[in-house]
Structure 1
Amino acid sequence: MLNTVRYRPWTCKDCLRLVKSRRPFATAAASTDPRAAIDYAAANKFSKIRDDDTLRRVFDSRPFWREFSHKRLNTSKRSGLVQNQYLTSPEGFRQFAETSLQKCQRIVSKVLAASTLNDYRSMARDMDRLSDLLCRVIDLSDFVRSNHPDQQIQEAATQAYALMFEYMNILNTTTGLYDQLKKAAANPEVTSYWSDAEKMVAQILIKDFSNSAIHMPPKERHRFVNLSNDISQLGSDFVNGAEPAKSHVVLNKSSVQGLDPVVVRQLQRWNNTVPIPTSGIEPKIALRSVHDESTRKELYITTRTSSKRQIHRLEELLSKRAELAKLSGYSSYAHMALSDKMAKTPEAVSNFLTTLIDSNRPQVQEELFKLQSMKKGSPLQPWDHAYYVQNRLTQYAISRRSRELSRVPEFFSLGTVMQGLSRLFDRLYGVRLVPQETLPGETWNSDVRRLDVVNESGHHIAVIYCDLFTRPNKSPNPAHFTLRCAREISTDEIAESAAMEPPSHPNDGMATAMNAGSQTLRQLPTIALVCDFPEPPVSGNGPPTLLTEHSVRTLFHEMGHAVHSILGQTPLQSISGTRCATDFAELPSVLMESFATAREVLSLYARHWETDQPLSESMMRSMEADRLAHGDIYGAVENEAQILMALVDQAYHSLPTDGTPINSTDIYHQVFSAHCALPDPQDSSNRTSWQGFFGHLYGYGATYYSYIFDRAIANKIWHDVFQTGKLSIDRAAGERYKNEVLRWGGGRNGWSCVAGVLGDNNPSNADGRLAEGGEEAMREVGRWGLGREGVST
Structure 2
Amino acid sequence: MLRCQRPWRYLPCYQQRTFSTRTRVLQQAQAAAVSANGRIKIKGLNETADHDDETLRQIFDSHHVWSAWSNKKTLVPRTGLFQNHYLKNPSGFQQFASITLARCQKIVAKVLAASTANNYQDVPRDLDRLSDSLCRVLDLCDFVRSTHPDPRFGEAADEAYQMLFEYMNVLNTTPGLDKQLKIAWADPSVAALWGEEEKSVAQILLKDFSKSAIDLPEDKRRRFVSLSSEINRLGGTFVTDIGPAKSTLVLNSSRTHGMNPNLLARISDRWGRAHLPTAGDIPTAALRTIHDEATRKEIYIAGRTSAPDQIALLETLMQQRADLARLCGYQSYAEMSTNDKMAKTPEAISSFLTTLSHRNNATINDEIRGLTMQKTADAGEKTTGFCAWDKEYYRSRRASQMLSKARRPDFISAYFSLGTVMQGLSRLFTCLYGVRFVPQETRPGETWNPDIRRLDVIDETEGHIATVYCDLFARAGKNPNPAHFTLRCSREITPLEIAEAAQASPEVEPIIAANDGMPTSGSPTTGVLHQLPVIALICDFSTPSSPHGPTLLSFHDVQTLFHEMGHAIHSILGRTSLQVVSGTRCATDFAELPSVLMEHFAADATVLSLFARHWETDVPLPYEMVAERLAVDRKGQGMDTEHQILLALLDQAYHSPLAASPDFDSTKIFHDVYARYSSLPEPPETTAQGFFGHLVEYGGTYYSYLFDRAIAGKVWHDVFNSGKDNGAIARENGEVFRQEVLKWGGSRDGWRCVSGVLGDASLAEGGAEAMKEVGKWGVRD
- Whether TM-score is above 0.5 comes out as yes
Q: CA deviation at 1:316?
A: 0.8
On the 8 A contact 1:497/1:503 being kept in 2, the answer is no
On the 8 A contact 2:107/2:130 being kept in 1, the answer is yes
Mapping 1:196-207, distance limit 5 Å: 196-207=196-207
Match of 1:27 in 2: none
- State how many pairs are aligned: 739
Match of 1:680 in 2: 682
On the 8 A contact 1:14/1:477 being kept in 2, the answer is no
Q: Which one-letter code corresponds to 2:701 in the other structure?
A: T
Match of 1:791 in 2: none
Distance 1:522 1:269, change over 3 A: closer
Deviates more, 1:668-677 or 1:716-725: 716-725
Deviations along 1:273-298, one digit per CA (max 9) or x if unpaired, are: 54433223332222222222222222
Q: CA deviation at 1:260?
A: 3.3
Match of 1:773 in 2: 766
Q: Which one-letter code corresponds to 1:744 in the other structure?
A: W
Q: CA deviation at 1:625?
A: 2.4
Measure, in 2, the Cα distance between the counterparts of 1:454 and 1:8: 24
The reply to whether residue 495 of structure 1 matches residue 499 of structure 2 is yes
Measure, in 2, the Cα distance between the counterparts of 1:611 and 1:303: 45
Match of 1:34 in 2: none
Measure, in 1, the Cα distance between the counterparts of 2:141 and 2:279: 34
Deviations along 1:203-237, one digit per CA (max 9) or x if unpaired, are: 11111111111110011111111111111111111
Residue of 416, 427, 433 corresponding to 1:429: 433
Residue of 508, 514, 517 corresponding to 2:522: 514
Distance 1:153 1:657, change over 3 A: closer
The reply to whether residue 584 of structure 1 matches residue 590 of structure 2 is yes
Match of 1:523 in 2: 531
Measure, in 1, the Cα distance between the counterparts of 2:551 and 2:263: 31
Match of 1:480 in 2: 484
Deviations along 1:701-726, one digit per CA (max 9) or x if unpaired, are: 11111111111111110011101653
Measure, in 2, the Cα distance between the counterparts of 1:458 and 1:64: 30
Residue of 714, 721, 735 corresponding to 1:716: 714
Q: Which one-letter code corresponds to 1:250 in the other structure?
A: V
The reply to whether residue 550 of structure 1 matches residue 551 of structure 2 is no
Match of 2:239 in 1: 239
Measure, in 1, the Cα distance between the counterparts of 2:172 and 2:126: 16
On the 8 A contact 1:97/1:163 being kept in 2, the answer is yes
The reply to whether residue 396 of structure 1 matches residue 389 of structure 2 is no
Mapping 1:103-502, distance limit 5 Å: 103-269=103-269, 273-376=273-376, 377-397=383-403, 400-403=404-407, 406-457=410-461, 459-502=463-506
Match of 2:667 in 1: 665
Deviations along 1:142-173, one digit per CA (max 9) or x if unpaired, are: 11111212111111111111111111111111
SS of structure 2 residue aligned to 1:646: helix
Measure, in 1, the Cα distance between the counterparts of 2:145 and 2:54: 34
Mapping 1:720-739, distance limit 5 Å: 720-723=718-721, 725-727=724-726, 728-739=728-739
Measure, in 2, the Cα distance between the counterparts of 1:495 and 1:254: 79
Q: Which one-letter code corresponds to 1:244 in the other structure?
A: P
Measure, in 2, the Cα distance between the counterparts of 1:621 and 1:405: 14
Q: Which one-letter code corresponds to 1:630 in the other structure?
A: D
Measure, in 1, the Cα distance between the counterparts of 2:113 and 2:61: 57
Deviates more, 1:406-415 or 1:563-572: 406-415
Deviations along 1:525-549, one digit per CA (max 9) or x if unpaired, are: 111111122335785x3x2111111
On the 8 A contact 2:173/2:221 being kept in 1, the answer is no
Measure, in 2, the Cα distance between the counterparts of 1:447 and 1:386: 38
Q: Which runs of 5+ in 1 are unaligned?
A: 18-43, 760-764, 789-793
Q: Which one-letter code corresponds to 1:712 in the other structure?
A: A
Measure, in 1, the Cα distance between the counterparts of 2:415 and 2:528: 44
Match of 1:623 in 2: 626
Q: CA deviation at 1:405?
A: 6.9
| RMSD across aligned positions (CA) | 2.2
SS of structure 2 residue aligned to 1:468: strand
Measure, in 2, the Cα distance between the counterparts of 1:11 and 1:310: 26
Measure, in 2, the Cα distance between the counterparts of 1:739 and 1:489: 23
On the 8 A contact 1:62/1:536 being kept in 2, the answer is no
Measure, in 2, the Cα distance between the counterparts of 1:58 and 1:427: 22
Distance 1:427 1:132, change over 3 A: same
On the 8 A contact 1:565/1:745 being kept in 2, the answer is yes
Measure, in 2, the Cα distance between the counterparts of 1:224 and 1:783: 39
Distance 1:457 1:149, change over 3 A: same
The reply to whether residue 10 of structure 1 matches residue 32 of structure 2 is no
Measure, in 2, the Cα distance between the counterparts of 1:658 and 1:93: 43
Q: CA deviation at 1:561?
A: 0.6
On the 8 A contact 1:323/1:659 being kept in 2, the answer is no
SS of structure 2 residue aligned to 1:726: helix
On the 8 A contact 1:331/1:656 being kept in 2, the answer is no
Deviations along 1:664-700, one digit per CA (max 9) or x if unpaired, are: 111111111111111233xxxx431110111111111
Measure, in 1, the Cα distance between the counterparts of 2:608 and 2:302: 45
Measure, in 2, the Cα distance between the counterparts of 1:270 and 1:449: 48
Measure, in 1, the Cα distance between the counterparts of 2:265 and 2:467: 52
Q: Which one-letter code corresponds to 2:675 in the other structure?
A: S
On the 8 A contact 1:576/1:747 being kept in 2, the answer is yes
Give the percent of matched residue pairs that are identical in Structure 1 and Structure 2. 54
Deviates more, 1:510-519 or 1:230-239: 510-519
Measure, in 2, the Cα distance between the counterparts of 1:453 and 1:667: 48
Measure, in 2, the Cα distance between the counterparts of 1:274 and 1:520: 67
Q: Which one-letter code corresponds to 1:620 in the other structure?
A: Y
Mapping 1:627-646, distance limit 5 Å: 627-632=630-635, 634-646=636-648
SS of structure 1 residue aligned to 2:386: coil
SS of structure 2 residue aligned to 1:667: helix
Distance 1:374 1:344, change over 3 A: same
Distance 1:487 1:45, change over 3 A: farther
SS of structure 1 residue aligned to 2:340: coil
Q: Which one-letter code corresponds to 1:395 in the other structure?
A: Q
Measure, in 2, the Cα distance between the counterparts of 1:758 and 1:179: 39
On the 8 A contact 1:405/1:622 being kept in 2, the answer is no
Measure, in 1, the Cα distance between the counterparts of 2:452 and 2:330: 47
Q: Which one-letter code corresponds to 1:676 in the other structure?
A: S
TM-score (norm 1): 0.90
Deviates more, 1:428-437 or 1:463-472: 463-472
Distance 1:277 1:404, change over 3 A: closer
SS of structure 2 residue aligned to 1:757: helix
Match of 1:59 in 2: 60
Q: Which one-letter code corresponds to 2:412 in the other structure?
A: V
Measure, in 2, the Cα distance between the counterparts of 1:274 and 1:588: 45
Distance 1:53 1:264, change over 3 A: closer
Match of 1:594 in 2: 600
Q: Which one-letter code corresponds to 2:241 in the other structure?
A: G
On the 8 A contact 1:417/1:552 being kept in 2, the answer is yes
On the 8 A contact 1:419/1:605 being kept in 2, the answer is yes
